[in-house]
């Protein structure tokens, strides 16, 4: 919005030129979203308490989690509001990629929100049916896959990190691939969101890395120089990513151990879906497995544990899945697990950035 209202004034006041720059607007988006979270957070937490929107904790988990019963949940509503307001303020609103990303994020948020409300209302841990949730997720993700294939200038080629000359063309199968990436990413973030700040930290890091990649993908000269796919208009997604980083950092303020609020499925499904969608739109799909390595490891730990559990009639690989519970069961203090996962996430983020030159 600022771009449309303030940038035209640059003819009278040259300093209004800054509203043209994606870098300035990305930082503006991050700071705005962060401030919205910090200012509205306490009020929002009080409102959740008043309306008794508190977490229902499973009784089969690590004992330390029983104390978390009733912690206000659905903080994702505030995260999504901050991301949306900030993106609408700082991004160019004539860019269809921005609208696509906002749509898919809010759609995934809606799925999570319905799930959360069902759990809170019924006061149990069963929300939407797994099948219903998956079908809705597939529907939302297909929109992105279709858009990418049908939009002029986009195609079904994949970028493979570290290999500039390998770019397989998936053709129409790209839609299925896009669905796998977006739905997988959404559910992986959801599985990771089981300790204070655990999902929020890697979301900040992944958002920051994709901010850089979106900026580069939208810049013809830099994309060509770095030999990454040039996606016209992708630069504006850097503003969305900035807003996601700012909102997640602002949320972490309250979600850090001991958490005063959880994001709920409304937050985790939406943030994961958004990361998957950015990866698809800017054609850096496989990179997500590196940047979001923590999410991948958490999801894999569940797949392996459940598979092995079924195959062996009740034997386990980990003390408990997802992976973070394994370390808790081993006696690591919760913040220790979380900070160590963040450290791994930072390193993976750096590796992802390094793929720009190592190819």
Query: Of 36, 183, 195, 237, which lies in the binding site for ligand 57M, with binding defined by CB under 6 A?
Result: 195
Q: Which residues contact 94 (CB under 8 A, 6 or more apart)?
A: 4
Query: Of 259, 275, 288, 337, which lies in the binding site for ligand 57M, with binding defined by CB under 6 A?
Result: 259
Strand partners, 160: 163
For residues 207 and 244, is the Cβ–Cβ distance under 8 A?
Answer: yes
Q: Is 154 left (phi over 0), alpha (psi -120 to 50) or beta?
A: beta
For ligand 57M, which stretch binds (CB under 6 A), given 13-21, 134-142, 147-155, 298-306? Answer: 298-306
Query: Of 127, 161, 250, 264, which lies in the binding site for ligand 57M, with binding defined by CB under 6 A?
Result: 264
CA dihedral of residues 154, 268, 245, 142 (deg, nearest 10): 10
Query: Of 137, 284, 305, 355, which lies in the binding site for ligand 57M, with binding defined by CB under 6 A?
Result: 305
The DSSP code for 169 is B
Complex with ligand 57M: residue 4 or 58, whichever CB lies closer: 58
Least distance (Å) between residue 272 CB and ligand 57M: 10
Strand partners, 54: 72
Q: What's the rounded Cα separation, in Å, for the pair 121 and 50?
A: 14
| Contact track, ligand 57M, 48-77, x by CB under 6 A | -------x-xx-xx---x--x----x----
For residues 20 and 10, is the Cβ–Cβ distance under 8 A?
Answer: yes
Is residue 156 close enough to count as binding ligand 57M by CB under 6 A? no
Is residue 320 close enough to count as binding ligand 57M by CB under 6 A? yes
Is residue 306 close enough to count as binding ligand 57M by CB under 6 A? yes
CA dihedral of residues 24, 25, 30, 31 (deg, nearest 10): 70
Is residue 186 close enough to count as binding ligand 57M by CB under 6 A? no
Complex with ligand 57M: residue 283 or 326, whichever CB lies closer: 326
Q: What's the rounded Cα separation, in Å, for the pair 39 and 230?
A: 38
Is residue 137 close enough to count as binding ligand 57M by CB under 6 A? no
Is residue 295 close enough to count as binding ligand 57M by CB under 6 A? no
Q: What's the rounded Cα separation, in Å, for the pair 280 and 277?
A: 5
Token digits of residue 295 = 């999410």
For ligand 57M, the binding residues (CB under 6 A) are: 55, 57-58, 60-61, 65, 68, 73, 190-191, 193-196, 255, 259, 262-265, 268, 302, 305-306, 309, 316, 320-322
């Amino acid at each position: 919005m600022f771009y449309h209202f303030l940038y035209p004034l640059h003819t009278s006041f040259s300093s209004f030129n800054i509203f043209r720059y994606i870098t300035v607007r990305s930082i503006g988006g991050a700071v705005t979203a962060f401030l919205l979270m910090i200012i509205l957070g306490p009020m929002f937490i009080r409102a959740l308490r008043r309306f008794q929107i508190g977490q229902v904790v499973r009784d089969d988990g690590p004992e330390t989690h029983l104390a978390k019963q009733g912690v206000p949940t659905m903080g994702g509503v505030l995260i999504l509001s901050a991301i949306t307001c900030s993106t609408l303020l700082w991004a160019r609103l004539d860019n269809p990629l921005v609208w696509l990303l906002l749509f898919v994020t809010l759609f995934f948020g809606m799925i999570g929100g319905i799930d959360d409300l069902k759990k809170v209302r019924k006061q149990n841990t069963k929300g939407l049916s797994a099948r219903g949730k998956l079908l809705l997720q597939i529907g939302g993700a297909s929109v992105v896959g279709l858009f990418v294939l049908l939009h002029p200038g986009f195609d079904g080629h994949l970028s493979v990190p570290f290999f500039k000359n390998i770019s397989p063309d998936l053709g129409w199968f790209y839609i299925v691939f896009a669905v796998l990436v977006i739905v997988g990413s959404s559910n992986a973030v959801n599985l990771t969101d089981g300790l204070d700040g655990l999902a929020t930290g890697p979301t900040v890091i992944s958002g920051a890395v994709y901010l850089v990649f979106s900026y580069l993908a939208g810049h013809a000269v830099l994309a060509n120089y770095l030999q990454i796919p040039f996606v016209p208009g992708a630069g504006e997604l850097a503003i969305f990513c900035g807003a996601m980083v700012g909102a997640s950092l602002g949320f972490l303020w309250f979600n850090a151990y001991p958490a005063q609020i959880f994001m709920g499925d409304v937050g985790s499904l939406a943030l994961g879906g958004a990361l998957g969608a950015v990866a698809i739109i800017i054609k850096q799909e496989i990179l997500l497995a590196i940047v979001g390595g923590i999410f991948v490891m958490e999801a894999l730990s569940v797949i392996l544990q459940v598979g092995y559990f079924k195959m062996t009639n009740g034997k386990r690989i980990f003390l408990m899945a997802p992976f973070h519970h394994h370390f808790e069961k081993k006696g690591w203090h919760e913040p220790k697990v979380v900070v160590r996962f963040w450290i791994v996430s930072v390193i993976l983020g750096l590796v992802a950035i390094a793929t720009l030159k190592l190819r």
